[in-house]
Amino acid sequence: MTEPPRPPGSGDDPTSPLSGSSGQPGYPPPGDYPPPTGDQPPPPGGYGPPGDHPSSGGYPPPGGYPPPGGYPPPGEYPPGGAPGVGYPTGGYGPPGGGYANNDDKTWTLIAHFGGPLGVIVGGGLLGWVAPLIAMMTRGQQSPVVRAHSVAAVNFQITWAIAGLLSWVLTAITCGLLFFVPFLVWIVPVVFGIIAGVKANEGALYRYPMTYAFVKR
């Protein structure tokens, strides 16, 4: 038998739109789609800085957040980190320009300046006395004093021997080379003063033309 025609809008017609649809066949009405899982509509004005989006996992932006108060200006901290770490302020070495205390500095100056004084007083032969006393007295307790006094005593002994040879040479020539001892005296006096000035600044002066009689 022939099926009687169905009235329009009965819902059995496959070509009819779904109930409540927007008028197009096979599609749900507007607004029926659920939002994607794990996503939220953007807030008014859009998303903020990177890391605020809920799908980003809450991680901070690359490099992290700045510390409270912001980063310090360039060059404020010394190499190594916070203040007090890294290069020392006020020069290198212990307080006082390379000396642990004033006694070390005093004995060091005695070792260097005492050499020229011994040369002048002893006719060029006693410049080693003062640095030797400094080495034996304070050099056993302070490595700094020992280093300075050993350098001074080696230099003064070297030129004391040279002074002695100059006197022998003067005697052999019957005084013809009388000026040679005076030239030999000038060398330990000048370099001893230079070494004393450097030692006063905290530096160890390296004497030229020296033979190492005493080891450090």
C-alpha span between 153 and 157 (Å, rounded): 6
pLDDT of residue 21: 43
- Residues 192, 163, 210, 126, CA torsion sign: negative
Beta carbons within 10 angstroms of residue 202's beta carbon: 17
Arithmetic mean of pLDDT, 13-24? 46
Q: State pLDDT tens for residues 45-88.
A: 555 555 444 444 555 555 555 556 666 555 444 444 444 333 33
